[in-house]
Amino acid sequence: MSEVLLTHVDTVLEDLSYPVDRTDARDELEGTTLLLANGEVDLGELIEKSGSDSFDSMADLESELNNVLPREAVGEPYQSEGEG
């Protein structure tokens, strides 16, 4: 098992061979903990929630992951980093 920050998810996604089926990507990355701003999620489980059956590139997979991330993944809603 490994852990990866959401901001560095590309470091594990680049290890996959593209194009890749959703099932293969899920199986390969299951057990990898994706560390979010408020919590964590299993990367394989997150990939399983994707609406795509396959991913042609790492960019495709990253885009799909962004679509299925929990709302709290990047911090509190309606807050900008510039607020103090």
Hey, what's the torsion of the CAs at 67, 69, 70, 74, to 10 degrees?
-110
User: Which pLDDT does position 72 carry in this prediction?
Assistant: 65
Amino acid residing at 15: D
pTM, full prediction? 0.81
- Condensed to tens digits (0 to 9), the pLDDT of residues 20-69 reads 999 999 999 999 999 998 889 999 999 999 989 999 999 999 999 999 99
pLDDT for 81 beyond 50? no
User: Which pLDDT does position 70 carry in this prediction?
Assistant: 81
DSSP class of 3: E
Categorize the per-residue pLDDT at 80 as very low, low, confident or very high, splitting at 50, 70 and 90.
very low
Residue 64: other Cβ atoms inside 10 A:
19
Residue spans per domain, the chain:
2-69
